[in-house]
Amino acid sequence: MTPLPLNQQLLNACAALLLLLSFAMLSQRRIVSLVNLFAVQGAVIAATTLLVAWRTGETHLYFSAALTLALKVAFLPWLLHRLIRRLEVRWDTEPLLDISGTMLAGIVIVVFAFGLAEPITHLASTSMRNAIGIAVAVVLLAFLMMITRRKAMSQVIGFLSMENGLFFGAMSATYGMPMIVELGVALDVLVAVLVLGVFFFQIREQFDSLDLHHLERLGERR
Protein backbone atom coordinates (compact mmCIF):
# COMPACT_ATOMS: atom_id res chain seq x y z
CA MET A 1 0.00 0.00 0.00
CA THR A 2 1.64 3.21 -1.08
CA PRO A 3 1.03 6.14 1.21
CA LEU A 4 -1.40 8.70 -0.11
CA PRO A 5 -0.16 12.22 -0.92
CA LEU A 6 -0.01 14.53 2.04
CA ASN A 7 -2.93 16.81 1.34
CA GLN A 8 -5.05 13.78 0.64
CA GLN A 9 -4.12 12.47 4.05
CA LEU A 10 -4.92 15.80 5.61
CA LEU A 11 -8.32 15.75 3.96
CA ASN A 12 -8.98 12.28 5.29
CA ALA A 13 -7.92 13.39 8.73
CA CYS A 14 -10.28 16.36 8.50
CA ALA A 15 -13.09 14.05 7.47
CA ALA A 16 -12.42 11.79 10.44
CA LEU A 17 -12.26 14.83 12.69
CA LEU A 18 -15.67 15.90 11.47
CA LEU A 19 -17.06 12.50 12.31
CA LEU A 20 -15.40 12.64 15.71
CA LEU A 21 -17.00 16.03 16.33
CA SER A 22 -20.39 14.70 15.31
CA PHE A 23 -20.08 11.95 17.88
CA ALA A 24 -18.82 14.38 20.48
CA MET A 25 -21.95 16.46 19.87
CA LEU A 26 -24.06 13.36 20.13
CA SER A 27 -22.60 12.52 23.52
CA GLN A 28 -22.62 16.04 24.92
CA ARG A 29 -25.24 17.07 27.42
CA ARG A 30 -24.28 20.71 27.93
CA ILE A 31 -25.65 23.15 25.43
CA VAL A 32 -22.77 25.58 25.80
CA SER A 33 -20.28 22.87 24.88
CA LEU A 34 -22.53 21.90 22.02
CA VAL A 35 -22.22 25.38 20.55
CA ASN A 36 -18.46 25.29 20.98
CA LEU A 37 -18.28 21.93 19.24
CA PHE A 38 -20.37 23.36 16.45
CA ALA A 39 -17.89 26.21 16.07
CA VAL A 40 -15.00 23.74 15.91
CA GLN A 41 -16.90 21.77 13.30
CA GLY A 42 -17.25 24.95 11.25
CA ALA A 43 -13.54 25.58 11.60
CA VAL A 44 -12.70 22.10 10.36
CA ILE A 45 -15.00 22.63 7.38
CA ALA A 46 -13.30 25.93 6.62
CA ALA A 47 -9.90 24.25 6.84
CA THR A 48 -11.06 21.53 4.48
CA THR A 49 -12.33 24.08 2.03
CA LEU A 50 -9.01 25.87 2.13
CA LEU A 51 -7.17 22.61 1.54
CA VAL A 52 -9.33 21.77 -1.44
CA ALA A 53 -8.97 25.29 -2.77
CA TRP A 54 -5.22 25.10 -2.48
CA ARG A 55 -5.20 21.73 -4.18
CA THR A 56 -7.52 22.54 -7.07
CA GLY A 57 -6.69 26.21 -7.40
CA GLU A 58 -10.34 27.22 -7.70
CA THR A 59 -10.64 30.74 -6.40
CA HIS A 60 -14.29 30.61 -5.49
CA LEU A 61 -13.45 28.05 -2.86
CA TYR A 62 -11.33 30.62 -1.03
CA PHE A 63 -14.37 32.84 -0.80
CA SER A 64 -16.41 29.94 0.34
CA ALA A 65 -13.89 29.20 3.09
CA ALA A 66 -13.93 32.80 4.22
CA LEU A 67 -17.72 32.75 4.26
CA THR A 68 -17.74 29.58 6.34
CA LEU A 69 -15.28 31.06 8.75
CA ALA A 70 -17.24 34.22 9.19
CA LEU A 71 -20.64 32.65 9.42
CA LYS A 72 -20.18 29.31 11.12
CA VAL A 73 -17.17 29.90 13.30
CA ALA A 74 -17.75 33.46 14.34
CA PHE A 75 -21.24 34.80 13.85
CA LEU A 76 -23.57 31.87 14.48
CA PRO A 77 -21.81 30.63 17.64
CA TRP A 78 -21.77 34.18 18.95
CA LEU A 79 -25.47 34.47 18.24
CA LEU A 80 -26.20 31.13 19.85
CA HIS A 81 -24.17 31.96 22.95
CA ARG A 82 -26.09 35.20 23.25
CA LEU A 83 -29.35 33.34 22.92
CA ILE A 84 -28.29 30.89 25.61
CA ARG A 85 -27.43 33.69 27.98
CA ARG A 86 -30.65 35.49 27.32
CA LEU A 87 -32.77 32.35 27.57
CA GLU A 88 -30.75 30.79 30.40
CA VAL A 89 -30.74 27.31 28.97
CA ARG A 90 -27.33 25.96 29.87
CA TRP A 91 -28.16 22.30 30.31
CA ASP A 92 -30.15 19.97 28.25
CA THR A 93 -32.42 17.73 30.25
CA GLU A 94 -32.08 13.98 30.16
CA PRO A 95 -32.07 12.95 26.48
CA LEU A 96 -34.78 10.64 25.23
CA LEU A 97 -32.32 7.82 24.67
CA ASP A 98 -29.33 7.42 26.98
CA ILE A 99 -25.95 8.45 25.68
CA SER A 100 -24.54 4.96 25.16
CA GLY A 101 -27.66 3.89 23.32
CA THR A 102 -27.44 6.98 21.12
CA MET A 103 -23.79 6.30 20.38
CA LEU A 104 -24.56 2.70 19.52
CA ALA A 105 -27.27 3.85 17.15
CA GLY A 106 -24.70 6.30 15.77
CA ILE A 107 -22.30 3.47 14.99
CA VAL A 108 -25.04 1.62 13.16
CA ILE A 109 -25.73 4.80 11.21
CA VAL A 110 -22.07 5.16 10.26
CA VAL A 111 -21.97 1.62 8.93
CA PHE A 112 -25.19 2.27 7.03
CA ALA A 113 -23.90 5.54 5.63
CA PHE A 114 -20.77 3.95 4.31
CA GLY A 115 -22.73 1.17 2.73
CA LEU A 116 -24.91 3.83 1.15
CA ALA A 117 -22.00 5.92 -0.07
CA GLU A 118 -20.07 3.08 -1.57
CA PRO A 119 -21.69 3.07 -5.05
CA ILE A 120 -21.39 6.87 -5.21
CA THR A 121 -17.77 6.60 -4.22
CA HIS A 122 -17.05 4.63 -7.35
CA LEU A 123 -18.73 7.26 -9.52
CA ALA A 124 -17.05 10.30 -8.04
CA SER A 125 -13.75 11.29 -9.52
CA THR A 126 -12.56 13.75 -6.93
CA SER A 127 -9.74 13.02 -4.56
CA MET A 128 -12.08 12.98 -1.60
CA ARG A 129 -14.16 10.01 -2.53
CA ASN A 130 -13.73 8.36 0.83
CA ALA A 131 -15.16 11.38 2.53
CA ILE A 132 -18.60 11.06 0.93
CA GLY A 133 -19.52 8.33 3.36
CA ILE A 134 -18.45 10.52 6.25
CA ALA A 135 -20.52 13.41 4.91
CA VAL A 136 -23.61 11.21 4.74
CA ALA A 137 -22.85 9.97 8.23
CA VAL A 138 -22.51 13.51 9.59
CA VAL A 139 -25.89 14.45 8.13
CA LEU A 140 -27.59 11.39 9.56
CA LEU A 141 -25.90 11.78 12.95
CA ALA A 142 -27.08 15.37 13.17
CA PHE A 143 -30.54 14.12 12.38
CA LEU A 144 -30.20 11.55 15.18
CA MET A 145 -29.17 14.28 17.56
CA MET A 146 -32.26 16.30 16.68
CA ILE A 147 -34.43 13.27 17.34
CA THR A 148 -32.98 12.39 20.72
CA ARG A 149 -32.91 15.85 22.29
CA ARG A 150 -35.72 17.60 24.04
CA LYS A 151 -34.56 21.19 24.03
CA ALA A 152 -35.25 23.37 21.03
CA MET A 153 -31.78 24.85 21.32
CA SER A 154 -29.99 21.56 20.74
CA GLN A 155 -32.28 20.83 17.84
CA VAL A 156 -31.26 24.04 16.13
CA ILE A 157 -27.63 23.10 16.58
CA GLY A 158 -28.42 19.72 15.12
CA PHE A 159 -29.99 21.42 12.15
CA LEU A 160 -26.91 23.59 11.61
CA SER A 161 -24.62 20.62 11.94
CA MET A 162 -26.69 18.86 9.30
CA GLU A 163 -26.08 21.75 6.96
CA ASN A 164 -22.35 21.39 7.67
CA GLY A 165 -22.54 17.77 6.64
CA LEU A 166 -24.31 18.64 3.40
CA PHE A 167 -21.75 21.29 2.62
CA PHE A 168 -18.94 18.87 3.26
CA GLY A 169 -20.63 16.25 1.10
CA ALA A 170 -21.00 18.69 -1.77
CA MET A 171 -17.37 19.59 -1.52
CA SER A 172 -16.13 16.04 -1.41
CA ALA A 173 -18.30 14.96 -4.32
CA THR A 174 -17.92 17.90 -6.71
CA TYR A 175 -15.49 20.36 -5.11
CA GLY A 176 -18.26 22.51 -3.81
CA MET A 177 -21.38 24.03 -5.25
CA PRO A 178 -21.44 27.07 -7.49
CA MET A 179 -20.86 30.26 -5.59
CA ILE A 180 -24.37 31.55 -6.05
CA VAL A 181 -25.90 28.44 -4.53
CA GLU A 182 -23.54 28.59 -1.61
CA LEU A 183 -24.41 32.18 -0.95
CA GLY A 184 -28.07 31.33 -1.07
CA VAL A 185 -27.70 28.47 1.37
CA ALA A 186 -25.66 30.60 3.73
CA LEU A 187 -28.35 33.25 3.66
CA ASP A 188 -31.02 30.65 4.25
CA VAL A 189 -29.23 29.30 7.29
CA LEU A 190 -28.75 32.75 8.67
CA VAL A 191 -32.39 33.66 8.26
CA ALA A 192 -33.50 30.31 9.66
CA VAL A 193 -31.46 30.80 12.82
CA LEU A 194 -32.72 34.32 13.29
CA VAL A 195 -36.32 33.24 12.81
CA LEU A 196 -35.85 30.33 15.18
CA GLY A 197 -34.32 32.64 17.73
CA VAL A 198 -37.46 34.74 17.63
CA PHE A 199 -39.47 31.57 17.96
CA PHE A 200 -37.58 30.56 21.08
CA PHE A 201 -38.65 33.68 22.86
CA GLN A 202 -42.21 33.10 21.80
CA ILE A 203 -42.15 29.48 22.95
CA ARG A 204 -40.70 30.40 26.27
CA GLU A 205 -43.17 33.15 26.82
CA GLN A 206 -45.97 30.68 26.17
CA PHE A 207 -44.75 27.70 28.19
CA ASP A 208 -42.09 29.10 30.54
CA SER A 209 -39.69 26.53 29.16
CA LEU A 210 -37.91 25.52 26.02
CA ASP A 211 -38.63 21.90 26.59
CA LEU A 212 -40.29 20.77 23.44
CA HIS A 213 -42.53 18.17 24.98
CA HIS A 214 -44.75 21.05 26.01
CA LEU A 215 -45.61 21.44 22.36
CA GLU A 216 -47.29 18.07 22.54
CA ARG A 217 -50.11 19.75 24.42
CA LEU A 218 -50.94 21.82 21.40
CA GLY A 219 -52.62 18.89 19.76
CA GLU A 220 -54.99 18.34 22.65
CA ARG A 221 -56.26 21.89 22.75
CA ARG A 222 -57.89 21.78 19.38
Partner 1 sequence: MRPAAYISQSLEIAVALAAAPLFLGWVNQCRAWLANRSAPSVLLPYRNIRKLFHKDAVLAENASALFRIAPYVVFGTMVVAAGIIPSLSGRLPLVAAADAIALVGLFGTARVFLSLAAMDVGTAFGTLGARREMMVGFLAEPALLMVIFVASLISATTALPAISAHLAGARLVIDPSLAFTAVAFTLVLLAENARIPVDNPATHLELTMIHEAMLLEYSARHLALMEWAAALRLFNYACIGFALFVPWGIAAGNVGPLGLTLAIPILALKLAVAGAGLALIETLSAKLRIMRAPEFLATAFLFAVLGLLVHVLLGGP
Partner 2 sequence: MTASLPPPFADPLTDCLVLVAAWLVIGVAGLAAPRSVRYAGRALFALGALVGIALAAAAALSLLGGVTQTRILPIGLPDLPFHLRLDALSSVFLVLLGASAAGVSLFSAGYFRESDGMAPGLLCLQYHLFLASMALVLLADDAYAFMVGWELMALSSYFLVTTQHRIPEIRSAGFLYLVMAHVGALAILLAFGILQGGSWQFTFDAMRAAHLSHAWAAAAFLLAMLGFGAKAGLVPLHVWLPEAHPAAPSPVSALLSGVMLKTAVYGMLRVTFDLLGHPAWWWGLVPLAAGLLTALYGVVFAAVQTDMKRLLAYSSIENVGLLFTGFGLSVVFFGVGMPALAALALLATLYHSLSHAAMKSLLFLGTGSVLHATGQRNLGRLGGLIHRMPWVAALTLVGALALAGLPPLNGFVSEWLLLQSFLFADRIPRSFVNLLIPLGAAVVALCAALAGYVMVKFYGVIFLGQPRESSLAQAHDCGLLERLGLGWLALLCLALGLAPVQVVSALAPVTRQLVGSAVPQPAASWWLLAPVPGRAVSYAPLVLLLAGAAVILLTMLLVRLFYHRRVRRARPWDCGFGEVTPRMQDTAEGFGQPIRNIFQSFFAIERELPTPFDAAPRYRIAISDRMWRGLYQPISGWVRRLADAAAILQRGRIATYLLYGFATLVVLLAVVLAT
Q: Is 47 in the site for partner 1 (CB under 8 A)?
A: no
Q: Quote the least distance from Cβ 101 to partner 2, whole Å.
A: 8
Site for partner 2 in 88-107 (CB under 8 A): 107
Q: Quote the least distance from Cβ 8 to partner 2, whole Å.
A: 20
Choice between 48 and 177, CB closer to partner 1:
48
What's the gap between Cα 201 and its chain centre? 23
Three-state SS at 208: coil
From 115, 181, 188, 194, residue interacting with partner 2 (rule: CB under 8 A): 115
Q: Is 33 in the site for partner 1 (CB under 8 A)?
A: no
Contacting residues for 113 by C-beta, under 8 A, at least 6 apart = 133, 134, 136, 137, 140
Q: Is 218 in the site for partner 2 (CB under 8 A)?
A: no
Counted residue by residue, the chain has a size of 222
* The one segment of 44-52, 85-93, 110-118, 210-218 that binds partner 2 by CB under 8 A: 110-118
Question: Which residues lie across from 151 on neighbouring strands?
Answer: 211
Question: Which residues lie across from 91 on neighbouring strands?
Answer: 30
Instruction: Name which of partner 1, partner 2, none residue 180 binds, using a CB cut-off of 5 to 8 Å depending on partner kind.
Output: none
Report how far residue 120's alpha carbon sits from residue 171's, in angstroms, rounded to the nearest whole number: 14
- Using CB atoms within 10 Å of the CB of residue 64, give its burial: 0 to 12 exposed, 13 to 18 middle, 19+ buried: buried
Instruction: Name which of partner 2, partner 1, none residue 115 binds, using a CB cut-off of 5 to 8 Å depending on partner kind.
Output: partner 2
Judged by the rule CB under 8 A, the positions of this chain that interact with partner 2 are 107, 111, 114-115, 118
